[in-house]
Each structure stands twice: as C-alpha cells, then as structure tokens.
Amino acid sequence: MLRTPSGGAGHGTAATDSGLMSIGAVLATLRAEFPEVTISKIRFLESEGLIEPGRTPSGYRKFSTQDVERLGHVLRMQRDHYLPLRVIREHLDAMERGEAVQLPVVGRQRDGESGAPFVEEPTAARIGRDALLAAAEIDEQVLKEWESYGLIAPLEDGAYDAEAATVASLVAELGRFGIEPRHLRVMKAAADREAGLVDQVVAPLRRHRNPQTRVHAEARAKELASLTVKLHAALVQTALGVRLP
C-alpha cells in the first residue's frame, strides 16, 4: 500500500503527527534520485490529485512518508515509462486496492522470428511518437505546433530523443500559466547558442584519433552542459529577483 490511514485521517496526515516533512525536505529527499524535480513540480502533481499532503492550521504542506513514497512512484513512472498522469493515477489507485497491476505498454511490434507481438520497451535514448503524445498528454495538432516552433524535433526515423518527453512536459506545464509555444522561441534560440558554445569547446576532442579522447569529449560536453544550465537558471533568478530552492 502506498497510502495508509493514520488515526482515521486518511491520506492527508494531520500536521501534528510525528515524522511529517515540509515541501523543502521532500524536495531534498527526492532529488537524490530525481535531480530535476522542483517545488513547482510537486505542487503541480498535488493539483492533479496524485498526492494529498496534510496542512498545518496556517496552510503549510506537511508530507508523510507515504506521500514521499507515492511521489517517487509517480516520478519514476513518468521518467521510465513515459506514462500520462491519468494512467499513473489509475495504476497507483489499483495498487492501493491490493490489485495486481501491470504497467501499460507504450507500443507493440512483431517478433522477427515468431511473429508474435511483444512489448516494445522505451529505451533511455529514444521514444516513439505515440509514447511522446501520451507522456505530454497532448494530441497531434499540439505536437505539430510545437515542432513548427522548433521546440521538439523528430530524429531521422521519426522517433524522438527521450529528452523530448521532458521538453514536452515542461512546455505543457508552462502553457497552464498562459505561456504559449511562440513565447518560448527565445528560450530555444538561447539554448541553441549555448549548445553551440559547448560544441565549439569539445569539437576538437571529438575529432581526435584517440578513442579515449573522444569518450572524454562526451564527458566534457555533459559537464559543460550541466554548468550552462545552472548558470542560465541563476541568471534568470537574478533577473527576476527570486531565489529557488
């Protein structure tokens, strides 16, 4: 069971119970496995009914161990299986009822030898179009609009880099605040410029004859990408005069 009642209070444990956590403490706990999770993401999942933390009399959220465990399940199913929130909610509710459930598949194809259908597991590097639509909970028309603005682009075979699922989820989340895809072109242009700068630094290493040097180039690219993302976030926070956890 992912949620257990306490003193008849149900999932939203009373704020006076021991062992409850603030949203900041929950964020610190989850980031060990999900470094990209944010407070706004946790609040969004709450607004979608995936979790129901308790509240103090002054309105502060208080999370139980079961809340944190449930959040971990939600984030893991989004990351590993690209499932829409509706499917995740149904899956977790079934688990709480004690039902034996299987995660839905994201696609099917035929086995080359037997001709029998088998589950096409999403890989760490690629995601199909149908799975991307399901992960972002959007339709074809919306995806085509995002593609027209260059926010998401398919690979040569029509599949997508797995990171496209993250981009799609973030674009959809921003849309709930009235930020439209056309507004995000400036962010895409900035990201392209930053990527070009990183590529300029590592390009000589990638062209090196030594295979170990080429491997080192990829590690260096990841390190530089991480630094540029952190710098970009810090500059935005400074410009807005806000500080995020």
pLDDT digits (tens, 9 = 90+) for 157-180: 888 887 888 888 889 888 888 999
Q: Which residue has the higher pLDDT, 54 or 14?
A: 54
Q: In CATH, what class is 120-179?
A: mainly alpha
Averaged pLDDT score across all residues of the chain: 78
Q: Are strands 126-127 and 117-119 parallel, antiparallel or unpaired?
A: unpaired
- Give me the mean pLDDT over the 14-43 stretch: 81
Instruction: Please report the pLDDT score of residue 110 as a whole number.
Output: 36
pLDDT over 70 at 13, yes or no:
no
Query: How far apart (Å, rounded) are the C-alpha atoms in residues 22 and 55?
Result: 10
Residue with tokens 């002054």: 58
Least confident of 37-41, 64-68, 139-143, 148-152: 37-41
Closest CA to 232 of 220, 240, 143, 165: 240
What does the radius of gyration of the chain's CA atoms come to, in whole angstroms? 21
Contact 164, 132 (CB under 8 A): yes
- Give me the mean pLDDT over the 27-55 stretch: 87
Percentage of residues in the chain having pLDDT higher than 70: 81
Least confident of 148-152, 164-168, 189-193, 214-218: 214-218
Sign of the alpha-carbon torsion through 32, 37, 43, 48: negative
Query: How far apart (Å, rounded) are the C-alpha atoms in residues 145 and 221?
Result: 30
What tokens were used for 176?
């709930």
Query: How far apart (Å, rounded) are the C-alpha atoms in residues 162 and 125?
Result: 5
114-149 residue pLDDT tens: 333 333 333 446 788 888 888 778 889 999 999 999
Contact 87, 104 (CB under 8 A): yes
Closest CA to 88 of 108, 64, 104, 106: 104
Instruction: Please state, in angstroms and as integers, the Cα–Cα distance from residue 216 to each residue in 21, 195, 204, 241, following that order.
Output: 41, 17, 11, 37
Phi, psi of 160 (to 5 degrees): -130, 150
Phi, psi of 220 (to 5 degrees): -65, -40
pLDDT over 70 at 17, yes or no:
no
Residues in the chain: 245
Instruction: Please report the pLDDT score of residue 68 as a whole number.
Output: 93
- Report the CATH fold assignment for 23-96: Multidrug-efflux Transporter Regulator; Chain: A; Domain 2 (1.10.1660)
